[in-house]
């Protein structure tokens, strides 16, 4: 008897159960493509190769990823793309496309939880915990979750990196995090920045906080727990200028 799948009692004959199992162990990267260009494309390619070597002991040539991206872009030059890397009997790339997503415009309120992702330097497919804490935050009246270590140091948010501003100084958490592509692009564009421990107790000493990911380059944070932040033009303009020095790269 062969394996089969049912969804709400109905067969799913076109889905291979072995494929679904394989995709749960792997890694991915998410891109926003505009006019056939991606912010930090070289960083995405490097992430995919490094993670593939670490997880599967194999390189992932940039040319192979480029070929799949170009195939995806045949449908549109403006897309959201997620590339999953996994292994069956060989290295596999699963590319998912969807309509482009616009950055958020409203400052967000974050609920802080003590949590650290497993192997945080990898963008792996084990994302249950991120969604779990994000949903908990929403149930408690917040917009999303941000994490801190057992010693109380801020690390990262559910699907974002986070940075803080004190005057014209931009500070990134020193706690273990996934080095996000947008964060790396921002750091490339800044003349100077600091990486330092950011204890929960020190949150009121900062003027502003921002979330960064492939969708949101600098989404302002309105609050973390009971600490609130007002708009801070000095740091917002500094971050905007930094991004402006890093043009998107053609696929």
Could you read off the pLDDT of 211-232 as tens digits, one per residue?
Answer: 999 999 999 999 999 999 999 9
Mean pLDDT of all residues in 156-170: 97
Contact 174, 195 (CB under 8 A): yes
CATH superfamily of 108-246: D-amino Acid Aminotransferase, subunit A, domain 2 (3.20.10.10)
Nearest Cα residue to 92 out of 56, 125, 122: 56
Predicted pLDDT of residue 1: 57
Considering the segment(s) 15-98 as one domain, its CATH architecture is 2-Layer Sandwich (3.30)
Segment 26-41 shows an average pLDDT of 97
Q: For a pLDDT cut of 70, what percent of the chain falls above it? A: 98
pTM strictly above 0.85: yes
- The full set of domain ranges for the chain reads 15-98, 108-246
Beta bridge partners of 63: none
246 in Cβ contact with 39 (< 8 Å): yes
- Give the CA count within 13 Å in the CB-facing half-sphere of 78: 6
């Amino acid at each position: 008897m062969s394996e089969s799948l049912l969804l709400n009692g109905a067969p799913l004959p076109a889905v291979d159960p072995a494929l679904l199992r394989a995709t749960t162990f792997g890694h991915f990267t998410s891109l926003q493509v505009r006019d056939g260009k991606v912010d930090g494309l070289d960083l995405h390619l490097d992430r995919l190769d490094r993670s593939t070597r670490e997880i599967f002991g194999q390189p992932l040539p940039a040319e192979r990823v480029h070929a799949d991206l170009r195939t995806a872009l045949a449908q549109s030059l403006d897309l959201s793309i997620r590339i999953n890397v996994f292994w069956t009997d060989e290295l596999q790339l699963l590319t998912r496309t969807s309509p482009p997503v616009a950055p958020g415009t409203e400052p967000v309120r974050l609920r802080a939880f003590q949590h650290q992702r497993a192997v945080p330097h990898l963008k792996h497919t084990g994302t249950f915990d991120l969604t779990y804490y994000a949903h908990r935050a929403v149930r408690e009246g917040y917009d999303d979750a941000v994490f801190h270590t057992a010693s109380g140091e801020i690390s990262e948010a559910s699907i974002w990196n986070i940075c803080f501003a004190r005057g014209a100084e931009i500070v990134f958490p020193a706690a273990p995090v996934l080095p996000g592509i947008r964060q790396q692009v921002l750091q490339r564009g800044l003349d100077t920045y600091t990486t330092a421990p950011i204890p929960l107790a020190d949150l009121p000493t900062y003027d502003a906080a921002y979330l960064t990911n492939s969708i949101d380059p600098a989404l302002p944070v309105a609050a973390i727990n009971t600490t609130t932040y007002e708009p801070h033009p000095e740091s917002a303009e500094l971050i905007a200028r930094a991004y402006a020095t890093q043009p998107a790269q053609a696929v």
